[in-house]
């Protein structure tokens, strides 16, 4: 997969994540929220016929309010299907429709959302419920291959997984092995035998736990295994008869680590980057490490923070914008109703936007939404790339907290007068 295609796929996944979050919050009256998911192998004409049949059945619903809500949703779905004619989208189709209730159980609005999944969807669903069913969309987000990690050193073992940009620790335990050198007065032969016995029992426990963590219903639950081992255990587990043969065949990389535990897990991920080059976690760490290097070297070809990054974007100076995917900043376009002049303000979700300018003139909200959604919809207009990152890595966590969750690589250096004010410049120096 080329770089631009991977960026595009990441953005599509982000859109689906946000949609799922929004749909999961919706609640409707009785069974008036309808989820219709059609795989690409089905024909749209069959789906249309089924919706027509459901409309006829819905007329017999006893509750007047529920009957009207259900019929309204089915009618909207039928009309939406007509827009596609008889051509099924290549990856299938998902439609969510119904009247949403607010906290007081009063109808707040009606939604009709149709999406063409970014990957083929293999589930056929038609459900009327008081909520939308998004399980099939969630499955699309976890289709990336999962890799298992076993981190072994003389102090203990950690079992973890890496899938996309998400790493999880499944289990870890510590061990107290005899040292290489015996104390005075001990029999060297007896001490060596005890030491070998302790190492054997340790490896046996590792092998047993590996089978528990990475084999489910007699099947391997990961695409591959990475062993992160210290020098003393370089080949002990991979060549041991204690280790399940099915897991041995899944070993894709053995790396030397200098640490155990979580630090060793991080190091093993980095050292196996070439093997796992499709994992988002690796890509995220690589991009952010490069961004931090630009700052450390003070190349002047970077910017960060909402105000600085958006100024650079408007000037067409951004080569690649880095965006924390859970950024809470709201973008509001304000318009002066008398002069028609427009200005854009950015504030945190909890803050209130001022609708009066410096001259005391009243402004009206012309457009409002999250900055993340605006960037995803408009970044191409400014000739830039968009890289979405999480806070699952140490680098991602630092970026989201210390750099406001947004920054960019610049095509060229910006003059101080173009980039930021003295107040902003002082803030930036303190941030770094």
pLDDT for residue 431 is more than 60: no
Region of residue 98 (left: phi > 0; alpha: psi -120 to 50; beta: else):
left
> What pLDDT, on the 0 to 100 scale, is given for residue 19?
92
CATH 3.30.1330.30 residue ranges in the chain? 285-431
> What pLDDT, on the 0 to 100 scale, is given for residue 183?
57
Topology of the domain comprising 146-180+188-278: Nucleotidyltransferase; domain 5 (3.30.420)
Q: What is the mean pLDDT of the chain?
A: 85
Reported confidence tier of residue 134, pLDDT bands at 50, 70, 90: very high
3-class SS of residue 376: helix
Superfamily per CATH, domain 3-141: eRF1 domain 1 (3.30.960.10)
Reported confidence tier of residue 145, pLDDT bands at 50, 70, 90: confident
pLDDT for residue 47 is more than 80: yes
Separation between Cα atoms, residue 44 and residue 55, nearest integer Å: 17
3-class SS of residue 403: coil
Between residues 390 and 303, the one the model is more confident about: 303
pLDDT in tens, 28-40: 888 889 999 999 9
pLDDT for residue 192 is more than 50: yes
pLDDT in tens, 322-377: 999 999 899 998 888 778 888 888 988 766 777 777 777 788 888 888 999 999 99
CATH 3.30.960.10 residue ranges in the chain? 3-141
39, 40, 45, 46: CA torsion to nearest 10: -40
Q: Which spans in 113-187 are helix H?
A: 135-141
Between residues 53 and 191, the one the model is more confident about: 53
CATH 3.30.420.60 residue ranges in the chain? 146-180+188-278
Determine the distance from the C-alpha atom of residue 391 to the mean position of all C-alpha atoms in its chain, rounded to a whole number.
9
pLDDT for residue 294 is more than 50: yes
> What pLDDT, on the 0 to 100 scale, is given for residue 351?
66
CA-to-CA dists, residue 116 to 50, 96, 113, 194, 296, angstroms: 20, 12, 10, 63, 43
Whether the Cβ atoms of residue 312 and residue 412 lie closer than 8 Å to each other:
no
Separation between Cα atoms, residue 9 and residue 144, nearest integer Å: 12
pLDDT for residue 196 is more than 50: yes
Superfamily per CATH, domain 285-431: Ribosomal protein L30/S12 (3.30.1330.30)
């Amino acid at each position: 997969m080329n770089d631009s295609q991977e960026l595009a796929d990441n953005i599509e996944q982000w859109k689906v994540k946000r949609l799922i979050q929004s749909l999961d919050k919706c609640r409707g009256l009785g069974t008036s929220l309808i989820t219709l998911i059609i795989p690409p192998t089905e024909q749209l004409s069959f789906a249309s016929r089924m919706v027509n049949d459901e409309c006829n059945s819905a007329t017999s619903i006893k509750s007047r309010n529920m009957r009207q809500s259900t019929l309204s949703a089915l009618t909207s779905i039928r009309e939406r299907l007509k827009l596609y004619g008889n051509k099924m989208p290549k990856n299938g189709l998902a439609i969510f429709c119904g009247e949403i209730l607010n906290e007081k159980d009063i109808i707040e609005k009606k939604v009709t959302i149709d999406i063409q999944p970014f990957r083929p969807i293999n589930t056929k669903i038609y459900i009327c419920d008081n909520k939308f069913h998004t399980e099939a969309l969630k499955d699309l987000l976890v289709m990336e291959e999962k890799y298992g990690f076993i981190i072994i050193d003389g102090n203990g073992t950690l079992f973890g997984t890496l899938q996309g940009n998400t790493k999880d620790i499944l289990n870890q335990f510590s061990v107290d092995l005899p040292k290489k050198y015996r104390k005075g007065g001990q029999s060297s032969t007896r001490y060596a035998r005890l030491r070998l016995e302790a190492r054997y029992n340790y490896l046996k426990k590792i092998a047993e736990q590996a089978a528990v963590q990475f084999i489910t219903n007699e099947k391997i639950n990961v695409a591959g295994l990475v062993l992160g081992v210290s020098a003393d255990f370089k080949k002990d587990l991979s060549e041991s008869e204690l280790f399940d043969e099915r897991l041995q065949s899944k070993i894709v990389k053995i790396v030397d680590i200098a640490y155990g535990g979580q630090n060793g897990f991080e190091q093993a991920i980095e050292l196996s980057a070439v093997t796992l080059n499709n994992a988002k976690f690796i890509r995220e760490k690589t991009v952010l490490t490069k961004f931090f290097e630009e700052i450390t070297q003070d190349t002047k070809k970077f910017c960060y923070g909402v105000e600085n990054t958006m100024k650079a974007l408007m000037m067409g100076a951004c080569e690649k914008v880095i965006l924390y995917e859970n950024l809470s900043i709201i973008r509001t376009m304000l318009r002066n109703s008398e002069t028609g002049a427009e200005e854009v303000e950015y504030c945190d979700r909890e803050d209130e936007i001022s609708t009066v300018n410096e001259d005391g003139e009243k402004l009206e909200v012309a457009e409002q939404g999250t900055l993340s959604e605006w960037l995803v919809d408009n970044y191409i207009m400014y000739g830039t790339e968009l890289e979405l990152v999480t806070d699952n890595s140490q680098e991602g966590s630092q970026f989201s907290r210390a750099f406001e969750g947004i920054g960019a690589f610049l095509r060229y250096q910006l003059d101080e007068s173009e980039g930021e004010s003295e107040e902003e410049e002082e803030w930036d120096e303190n941030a770094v």
